Amino acid sequence: MNNPISTLIAWIEEERQRGAPDPQHAILSTTTSNAAPHGRVVSIREIDEAGFIFFTKKGSRKEQEITENPLISLTFWFELYEREVMIDGQAQALSTKQNQIYWQTKTPDSQIKFCSYSQSGSNRIENRDQLEENRTNLKEEYGTKPLPMPERYCGFKIIPFRMVFYTHKEDAFSDVSEFILIDRTWRKSWLSP
């Protein structure tokens, strides 16, 4: 385990093969301008050596908090293997062109779903019926045709600088290894559980 990104990708695949429905979900933690922490589950859409990509809508709490403080943490929990990966990194907004590329990979149903809830200028809605009405109207208008990317669709790439891998062991010491990125090279050390 010398490359933490490759190891994370392998752990996700192992968890998927064992039956986990979507092991690419992770807890994204951000802070408000007054340092209050906030965590929520996000779906990581892409993982490679450059980082981790997820999407949200402009004006959402996570987008606002990342804009105020781009230092974030991301935590994967792999229940079936009792493993955890904790990541510290910096979030960078994707360009409009990058967002457009990802938008085009979404199915029309997924595009309609996003547009149904992103039409609201705020995060509060009067009731759930409002979302259903939005979806119905969009389905009538577009059917199975792709939708144009809404202005509120935005993605972020998390560029990691620290990754910690934890493997629980019932009858032995749990394994905890830390990777810190120094001069573009991951340096590994062991931590006490």
Give the C-alpha separation, 166 to 85, whole Å. Answer: 6
Interior angle at CA 83, CA 80 and CA 88, nearest 5: 135
List the structure tokens of 119. Answer: 């039409």
Residue 130 counted as domain residue: no
Residue 126 counted as domain residue: no
Mean pLDDT score, 133-155: 92
Mean pLDDT score, 126-148: 90
* Neighbouring C-beta atoms of residue 31, cutoff 10 Å: 16
Residue 77 counted as domain residue: yes
pTM beyond 0.85, yes or no: yes
Residue 45 counted as domain residue: yes
pLDDT at 121: 54
The whole domain housing 86 covers: 4-104+152-190
Structural contact between residues 83 and 118, judged by C-beta atoms closer than 8 angstroms: no
Phi, psi of 28 (to 5 degrees): -100, 120
Across the strands, what pairs with 53?
46, 157
Residue type, 90: Q
Residue 137 counted as domain residue: no
Residue 81 counted as domain residue: yes
pLDDT at 91: 98
Binding residues for FMN: 55-56, 61-62
Across the strands, what pairs with 72?
89
The contacts of residue 162 (CB under 8 Å, 6+ apart) are 87, 88, 89, 178, 179, 180, 181
CATH number at residue 56: 2.30.110.10
Question: Residue 169: which of 84, 78, 82 has the closest Cα?
Answer: 82
Residue 114 counted as domain residue: no
Give the C-alpha separation, 118 to 95, whole Å. Answer: 19
pLDDT in tens, 38-55: 999 999 999 999 999 999
pLDDT in tens, 157-185: 999 999 999 999 888 889 999 999 999 99
Residue 52 counted as domain residue: yes
Q: Poorest-confidence range of 90-104, 123-137, 158-172?
A: 123-137
Domains in the chain: how many in total? 1
Q: Give the pLDDT band (50/70/90) at residue 2.
A: confident
pLDDT at 122: 59
What's the DSSP call for residue 145? S
Give the C-alpha separation, 150 to 178, whole Å. Answer: 39
Give the C-alpha separation, 53 to 102, whole Å. Answer: 10
pLDDT at 127: 84
Residue 120 has pLDDT above 70, yes or no: no
pLDDT at 123: 67
Q: Give the pLDDT band (50/70/90) at residue 125.
A: confident
Q: What is the CA radius of gyration of the chain?
A: 19
| Mean pLDDT score across all residues of the chain | 93
